[in-house]
């Protein structure tokens, strides 16, 4: 179902559409013309053990799974250049790389290498983000943000250059074609001179990339020259589109639709690789430098290109408001979803509720005193003693509380087992027993608000508040070990 967008969001998306023009321009190229202050150790065994196997082995060892910022930094040269196309400019040096990786990969996040090139001194891979499995049986994570990385090693086997890019959150799709044609509408299609290239049929990934972008197209080949090197079942991912083009027929139609004068694709670095390769590029629009990008090619057993992924840089580079919002609301998967946005809103609301904590504390004590008596208080003490240790994880909630609802959803995501006790509809609708138990929570933990969670009989607070709360425990990487130790993951 389609819903109307607020005017402010329409304005934002309008701006993004303009930036997606640059994204499409870079992606168009292949289609048209086919906080740790300690210094980084350079002696990390985790990085050195992969060097002998070449670029493929090194990259898989460093990035497939949990990403260790120290290991990645140690595998880099001292003057490594790391060009993250989601940032405004490249980073230089090991310390900058370590800080970048630490920021990109909190404890609970993983990187899954999907396809990887087989180059020795240069290569790369396609990837997607995942959440670290919370259960012993390794429950399958939802697929997160996708991307591609190119890497080049120096003579010492250190990573000297990296370019990486990830998919845009907002995908302009077919609207990009109209934008491109509008920008280049005044460009005239000059008669092509006689081709100067010699047709070849390379059967390796790097061979195809070099032939197309360094020989055929500069030598006057039509954009359709690439089609004869493509598999009939090729899968072509262009990340300005939500779904890939599948099959040579779809790809051919797309290539022909975007054969627009005024656009020139310029390859920069093409990696080694027989089975697969990665290459970087930029686009010139009407003779002016445009955005940059990255592509991945994979070859099938018949020597035909069976998979392509194109990712353009934002235009201007680093301008990714939706991507930045996704990184804040969902640091593991970095996708934009309603539930993650809600959780972030609740997090902000929790800060405001914290300012009212003294008032709620006084109210809880008063409510228990008015509604209950000494016998009720004693019963509440016994009830809390029994219930808080009745399961590896116990959570007290209100039925109508959005914080309680979100806490339960959060616990369900971890795959843990828990016992839930509902004190009532809301704090102002509690009876004498619920009021007394809420007051006892305040006396023991200093927190009367719900949800309230006990792990292994120990209070850790609520969703965002407490000692230190569920969200903070997850950020610190302590939640899963604590759940496991308490037996909540069995």
Terminal Cα distance for the chain, rounded: 40
Tokens describing residue 84: 């993250």
In tens, the pLDDT along 315-336 reads 554 444 444 444 544 555 655 4
- Residue 324: which residues within 8 A CB-CB, separation 6 or more? none
C-alpha closest to that of 58 among 133, 203, 157: 157
φ/ψ (deg, to 5) at 478 = -100, -15
Place of tokens 């035909």: 304
Residue 202 is encoded by which pair of tokens? 């390379």
pLDDT of residue 140: 58
Alpha helices in 258-415 (DSSP H): 321-329, 338-355, 357-371, 374-387, 402-414
Q: Does residue 109 have a pLDDT over 70?
A: yes
Using CA atoms, how far apart are residues 440 and 30, in angstroms rounded to an integer?
Answer: 66
Residues whose CB is less than 8 angstroms from the CB of residue 402 and which lie 6 or more positions away in sequence, other chains included: 342, 346
Percent of the chain with pLDDT over 70: 68
**What are the start-end ranges of the E strands in 380-487?**
393-398, 419-424, 452-455, 458-461
Q: Give SS3 for 127.
A: strand
321, 16 contact by CB (below 8 A):
yes
Better-scored residue on pLDDT, 376 or 33:
376
Cα separations in angstroms, 88 against 100, 106, 317: 13, 22, 5
CA torsion sign, 428 to 430 to 432 to 433?
Answer: negative
Which of residues 290 and 436 earns the better pLDDT score? 436
Taking the CA atoms of 341, 345, 351 and 357 in sequence, report the sign of the dihedral they define: negative
Look over the chain and give the mean of its residue pLDDT values, rounded to a whole number: 78
Structure tokens at 268: 């920069």
Cβ atoms within 10 Å, residue 65: 14
Count of helix runs (H) and strand runs (E) in the chain:
16, 16
Confidence check: pLDDT of 30 > 60: no
Considering only CA atoms, give the Rg of the chain. Answer: 28
Most confident of 188-192, 395-399, 435-439: 395-399
Q: How far is the C-alpha of 294 from the C-alpha of 311, rounded, in Å?
A: 5
Burial (CB count <10 Å: 0-12, 13-18, 19+), residue 35:
exposed
Neighbours of 296 (CB within 10 A): 29
Average pLDDT over residues 363-387: 73
Q: How far apart are CA 174 and CA 178, in angstroms?
A: 8
Peptide bond into 316 cis (omega under 30): yes
Euclidean distance between CA atoms 345 and 402, whole angstroms: 11
pTM over 0.75, yes/no: no
Residues 6 or more apart whose Cβ sits within 8 Å of residue 441: 384, 396, 447, 448, 452, 459
The CA distance from 445 to 460, in Å, is 9
Average pLDDT over residues 43-63: 71
Q: For the segment 440-461, what is each residue's pLDDT rounded down to a tens digit? A: 888 888 888 889 999 999 999 9
Q: What whole-number distance in Å separates Cα of residue 73 and Cα of residue 93?
A: 8
Phi, psi values for residue 41, rounded to 5°: -80, 140
Whole-number pLDDT of residue 228: 94
The pair of three-digit structure tokens given for residue 48, joined into one six-digit string? 């050195």
The 3-state DSSP class for residue 417 equals: coil
CA distance 432 to 245: 63
pLDDT digits (tens, 9 = 90+) for 218-250: 998 988 899 999 999 999 999 888 889 999 999
More confident call, 283 vs 324: 283
Give strand pairing partners of 125. Answer: 116, 149
Q: In what order do the strands lie in the sheet with 288-299?
A: 245-246, 230-238, 305-312, 288-299, 276-285, 263-270
């Amino acid at each position: 179902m389609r819903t109307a967008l607020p005017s402010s969001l329409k304005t934002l998306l309008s701006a993004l559409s303009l930036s997606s023009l640059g994204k499409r321009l870079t992606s168009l190229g292949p289609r048209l013309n086919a906080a740790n202050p300690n210094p980084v150790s350079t002696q990390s065994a985790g990085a050195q053990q992969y060097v002998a196997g070449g670029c493929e082995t090194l990259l898989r060892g460093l990035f497939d799974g949990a990403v260790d910022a120290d290991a990645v930094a140690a595998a880099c040269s001292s003057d490594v250049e790391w060009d993250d196309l989601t940032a405004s400019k490249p980073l230089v040096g090991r310390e900058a790389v370590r800080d970048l990786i630490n920021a990109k990969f909190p404890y609970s996040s993983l990187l899954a290498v999907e396809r990887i090139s087989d180059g020795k001194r240069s290569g790369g891979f396609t990837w997607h983000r995942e959440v670290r499995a919370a259960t012993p049986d390794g429950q399958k994570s939802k697929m997160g943000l996708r991307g591609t990385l190119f890497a080049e090693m120096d003579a010492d086997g250190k990573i000297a250059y990296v370019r990486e890019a990830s998919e845009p959150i907002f995908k302009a799709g077919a609207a990009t074609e109209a934008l491109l044609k509008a920008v280049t509408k005044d460009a005239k299609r000059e008669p092509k001179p006689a081709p100067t290239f010699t047709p070849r049929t390379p059967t390796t990934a790097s061979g195809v990339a070099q032939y197309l972008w360094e020989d055929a197209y500069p030598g006057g080949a039509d954009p359709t020259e690439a089609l004869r090197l493509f598999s009939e079942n090729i899968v072509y991912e262009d990340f300005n589109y939500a779904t890939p083009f599948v099959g040579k027929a779809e790809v051919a139609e797309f290539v022909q639709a975007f054969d627009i004068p005024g656009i020139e694709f310029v390859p920069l670095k093409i990696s080694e690789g027989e089975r697969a390769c990665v290459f970087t590029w930029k686009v010139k629009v009407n003779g002016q430098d445009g955005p940059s990008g990255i592509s991945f090619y994979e070859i099938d057993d018949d020597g035909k290109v069976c998979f392509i992924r194109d990712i353009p840089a934002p235009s201007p580079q680093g301008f990714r408001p939706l991507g930045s919002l996704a990184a804040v609301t969902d640091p593991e998967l970095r996708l934009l979803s309603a539930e993650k946005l809600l959780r972030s809103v609740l997090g902000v609301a929790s800060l405001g509720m914290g300012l009212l904590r003294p008032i709620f504390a006084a109210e809880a004590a008063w409510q228990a005193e008015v509604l209950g008596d000494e016998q009720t208080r004693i019963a509440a003490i016994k009830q809390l003693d029994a219930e808080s240790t009745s399961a590896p994880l116990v959570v007290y909630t209100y039925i109508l509380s959005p914080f309680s609802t979100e806490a339960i959803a959060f616990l369900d995501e971890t795959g843990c087992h828990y016992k839930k006790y509902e004190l009532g509809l809301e704090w102002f609708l509690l009876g004498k027993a619920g009021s007394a138990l809420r007051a006892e929570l305040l006396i023991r933990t200093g927190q009367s608000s719900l949800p309230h969670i006990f792990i292994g009989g120990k209070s850790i607070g609520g969703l965002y508040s407490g000692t230190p709360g569920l969200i903070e425990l997850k950020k610190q990487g302590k939640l899963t070990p604590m759940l496991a130790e308490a037996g909540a993951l069995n």
